[in-house]
Amino acid sequence: MKVAYKLSQLYPQKRAFITGGGGGLGRALSLNLAADGWTVGITDIKPEGLAESVQLIEKAGGKALSYQFDVSKREEYKTAFNDFISKTAGIDLLINNAGVGDGGLFGEYGLDNWEWITGINQMAAIYGTHYAVPFMQKQKSGHIISIASAAGFANMPNMSMYNVTKAAVISLMESLYAELKLYNINTSVVCPTFFRSNVMQYGKGNEEANAIGQTIIQRAKYSPDEVADYILTQAGKNRFYILHPYQAKLAFHVKRLFPVFFLNYKAKQFARKDWVQKVLKQKF
């Protein structure tokens, strides 16, 4: 059988643990790996989506291990991860995918909401990485992929709560790059712009801001399947920054080369009364 992904050749035992696997990008990543015969541990807070993903993974040719829990709960995460390790005797690929989107002005977003979004988007990535690293260090092999966002470096207004958590994920992976190289552990951070997903379904912030975000996501050009295939292909090439599509690459390089220009451009755009309509007309 022809192996679709280089990751399958690099890690022949094919053991992956993916958070947020009950739908969207997490499910797409799981199914693509399943087609290559991977054992996939998937997590999600919703049992219905999780059960459906299990059936689809097994139908695609993989083996599924499912765990229903809230990834922001450290002890629940630890219990699930340890069970996965006990059944697979190791881990080759960790994908920190679970995440939620939200929107609104900084001064209007409550601290309880900040703790909620930080727990899911930021701390869950830390928990998963913390639990996986010792096993990968012992094996002297493995790959960790964290799903961040172009929002983590573009830092657009009206979504500071999301930007901050995704910037933290980028910083985490950049920090670990050198540390884990010593153990032959590869790392990647994924920074896409908008693609079709249900990331806004749990939003707690401003209703208008969330409606704008959901509209943009629904109109996005790329599907979760397309993004998942790109991520796994690029990770197999050992790409650290996985930027997709071209808007993400453009924003990344402009921000790095001309940071003050980038900030002033955003400020001028946000000050315009018609900025929302202009954003909605953009194609992503």
265 domain-assigned: yes
* pLDDT at 1 (0 to 100): 38
Domain of residue 122, residue span: 13-281
- Supply the pTM of this predicted model: 0.93
Share the mean pLDDT of the chain: 92
pLDDT at 169 over 90: yes
Chain centre distance of CA 85 = 22
Q: For residue 282, report the phi and psi dihedrals to the nearest 5 degrees.
A: -70, 150
* pLDDT at 273 (0 to 100): 65
pLDDT at 281 over 70: no
Using CA atoms, how far apart are residues 40 and 77, in angstroms rounded to an integer? 16
Bridge partner residues of 142 (DSSP): 185
The answer to whether 132 touches 81, Cβ cutoff 8 Å, is yes
* pLDDT at 206 (0 to 100): 73
2 domain-assigned: no
7 domain-assigned: no
Instruction: Kindly report each contact of residues 84-89 with a partner whose C-beta sits within 8 Å and lies 24 or more positions away, as own/partner.
Output: 84/17, 84/41, 85/135, 88/13, 88/15, 88/39, 88/41
Share of the chain above pLDDT 90, in %: 80
pLDDT at 101 over 50: yes
212 domain-assigned: yes
How many CB atoms are located within 10 Å of the residue 32 CB?
22
pLDDT at 283 over 60: no
4 domain-assigned: no
66 domain-assigned: yes
218 domain-assigned: yes
* pLDDT at 208 (0 to 100): 74
- Please tell me the least confidently modeled range out of 125-129, 224-228, 278-282: 278-282
CATH number at residue 266: 3.40.50.720
Using CA atoms, how far apart are residues 261 and 255, in angstroms rounded to an integer? 8
**Could you read off the pLDDT of 134-151 as tens digits, one per residue?**
999 999 999 999 999 999
**Could you read off the pLDDT of 178-192 as tens digits, one per residue?**
999 999 999 999 999
The CA-CA-CA angle for residues 38, 146, 225, to 5°, reads 55
Mean pLDDT to the nearest integer, 154-171 = 96
Confidence tier at 269 by pLDDT (50, 70, 90): confident
**Could you read off the pLDDT of 48-77 as tens digits, one per residue?**
999 999 999 999 999 999 999 999 999 999
**Could you read off the pLDDT of 191-246 as tens digits, one per residue?**
998 887 777 677 787 777 777 767 667 777 889 999 999 999 999 999 999 999 99
pLDDT at 6 over 90: yes
5 domain-assigned: no
The answer to whether 63 touches 31, Cβ cutoff 8 Å, is no
- Between 215 and 81, residue with greater pLDDT: 81
* Number of domains comprising the chain: 1
